[in-house]
Amino acid sequence: MVRIMYLSPVAHRAGHDELFAEMARDYKLEGTEVHVTSLPDDVGSFSHIEFRSYE
């Protein structure tokens, strides 16, 4: 069994996780388990994630 976890590093917005979960459900291979989640607002509420990745 293949397991995939998509963790969005940005704060959760309404519908964000559901959008990615729907795409995974539509395109994943049979027997693949997919989990989609985001960091909580108090952890993932930063800006300029691309810039911060170089720190």
Domain segments of the chain: what residues?
2-52
Q: Quick: pLDDT tens for 22-34.
A: 999 999 999 999 9
Q: Name every residue whose Cβ is closer than 8 Å to that of residue 36 and which is 6 or more positions away in sequence.
A: 5, 6, 8, 17, 20, 21, 24
Q: Quote the Cα angle for 18-25-8, to 5°.
A: 45
Average pLDDT for the chain: 82
**What is the rounded average pLDDT of the residues 26-54?**
79
Higher pLDDT, 50 or 1: 1
Closest residue by Cα to residue 43 from 4, 6, 12: 12
